[in-house]
A and B are shown apart, each in its own frame.
Chain A
């Protein structure tokens, strides 16, 4: 099909992706979708199918292991990544509805396997792992998402997608939807304070950052807060709810899917 090569401004190294040879893709559902956000995973499947992919979702999958990486327990992280390489042994692209889990595979796993005999296997996994929006736009070459959704949307970029093609890809997709208005808010590029284990080791700072983010987002009075990562949204929504504010969050895939339904 097409060679997928993407260069973006920013400093993070995104591996040069393997060309996409097949219409078959493997979905890594992520632990958060497995536990809390089933509709985001379901919408991801539906969007990929709409884009012409055949989606398989290996049932033996568990988690990407990132919590172990950021907590510093790399022995556990390597164990989990080895499990991931076994479950996703198929050479088809791996698509993840989370920029954070995708980065755990393509950026963090190769760091934790430096000097390990399994590094080549892990690097091959890295080279075929994509965040969903990045895959749709830069992997499949979709330039515009046809659909309709009358909503004002605030887009939150997860910090793990800094310097990756995810942010521009999300905007490319959203901007093709009729009726959708993207609203801007102050300090869009500042972290919301989730940070995985940071949220519980530094709860005071984490929640202060979260309250600032929520206030900034709400100042733009969006109908929906949309991201390629449910983890940040879970933290933000949790904070807003504690403060008694409504904070309607959606995964990007849910917006894309809902626009399809309303539009057709």
Chain B
């Protein structure tokens, strides 16, 4: 078959999964729009401003990163730089080993997914616990998140109830409150037993060194309350210039992500426990992970690093809604994943280059992006690269342009083709070995060929001539 892998994946998806995703994504779209338009006269102006702010941060990333490092160290944190995901994993493992703990709690972090951190810790005999409820379910099922904000958007509460039953967390019960209470009582002891807790970072302020983490479950803060060591894993692009920039960025991030005005918990973490503080981690480590990001910063793809991981683009993307996050085969799904996935892949651009094909370029993603990333333009650039670098699977099912290129540059040939096109209608097009023709006709009819008629009408009415 000459179809793309993502299209095949989508065609094999279970109807209940598709429905769960459709409901979850659409509710995200509606809530986002409602709060943004209620609260702001001109949300687009704010999105443009936030886009400029994030682009500015990237344009001066070296300075802001150095500033953040300095402030973090002054605040008592230890700062590490990891060039690759493998190096980031080594650093985490070193810290966890040195702490002597076995149990590690972890709040939601997409950066940690890039190193497959929970599985890596588990495979080395540690006991990692995902403390975000959605990620906890992912962990129980040995699954992968399919959405960056709603990791189990592809599951129903019946699925979750079955997972809990299977994992020995009580008899089947699909009441959300019961599910939550069971998760909470299971986690409580682990929070107390964990010596290390790991979080991501939504932002890191270069001005103050504050690490910002937003959650709705308070699990990141709970993790810090119980553990002696706090590890923050952040992509290098998470740095912002000043604390006051958070007013704009948090306002847009949270409204775009969940349609809330503010999440239940917004932590601004100033460093490890101060001698005057009664509790909190004694040690704080901040790992800034590059993992191909500095290559992106210096390229025409830089705007994708403005991304603040709200998930609005996937909620609004009809292709995502028809295919699920797992169809994107990587950490980041949907439109932002179609750009970031191929660029971040450890195995190189080719691995996920086909994701750039998974778009009609409709622009719904750009319309909702809180930081004004022109995602369709970036996707088009990636397609250009996959053609230039001849990435075979990325161009699967895409009709070659060689004949078109010739005809479109030669007007006489073009007109000849136009006037002969009707001959095509006599051919059994659907049965010819022309993949594109078959792909079209399997699902759609073609209109009658009327090539050349407009030109004949023009000539008769003499409009074809230049009026000199």
A159 and B443 contact, Cβ closer than 8 Å, known pairs A83-B409, A203-B7, A205-B10: no
Residues in B whose Cβ lies below 8 Å from that of A68: 401, 404-405
Surface stretch bound by A, among B131-139, B207-215, B450-458: B450-458
- Residue B265 at the A interface, CB < 8 A? no
Taking CB as reference atom, which chain B residue is nearest A114?
B300
A205 and B404 contact, Cβ closer than 8 Å, known pairs A35-B450, A56-B467, A210-B443: no
A162 and B363 contact, Cβ closer than 8 Å, known pairs A67-B404, A72-B380, A239-B444: yes
**Per-position 1/0 for B303-322, Cβ under 8 A of A:** 00000000000000011001
Residues of A222-256 contacting chain B, CB below 8 A: 234-235, 237-239, 241-242
Residues in A whose Cβ lies below 8 Å from that of B27: none
Surface stretch bound by A, among B72-80, B96-104, B151-159, B353-361: B353-361
- Residue B397 at the A interface, CB < 8 A? yes
> Are B387 and A71 neighbours in the complex by a CB distance under 8 Å?
yes
- Residue B23 at the A interface, CB < 8 A? no
**Per-position 1/0 for A33-54, Cβ under 8 A of B:** 1111110011001000000001
Residues in A whose Cβ lies below 8 Å from that of B449: 35-36
- Residue B263 at the A interface, CB < 8 A? no
Residues in B whose Cβ lies below 8 Å from that of A209: 318-319, 322, 360
- Residue B205 at the A interface, CB < 8 A? no
- Residue A17 at the B interface, CB < 8 A? no
Residues in B whose Cβ lies below 8 Å from that of A33: 454
> Are B3 and A38 neighbours in the complex by a CB distance under 8 Å?
no
A202 and B6 contact, Cβ closer than 8 Å, known pairs A57-B463, A162-B362, A242-B444: yes
CB distance from B420 to the nearest CB of A (A): 11
CB distance from B405 to the nearest CB of A (A): 4
Residues of B390-433 contacting chain A, CB below 8 A: 395-402, 404-405, 407-409, 411, 414-415, 418, 421
A238 and B405 contact, Cβ closer than 8 Å, known pairs A34-B451, A72-B386: no
CB distance from B120 to the nearest CB of A (A): 33
Taking CB as reference atom, which chain B residue is nearest A64?
B408
Additional pairs, 4, CB under 8 Å, beyond known A34-B454, A191-B360: A9-B42, A63-B414, A80-B408, A199-B439
> What are the 9 A-B residue pairs with the smallest beta carbon separation, nearest first?
A195-B360, A238-B444, A72-B383, A191-B362, A207-B443, A159-B362, A38-B454, A72-B387, A201-B397
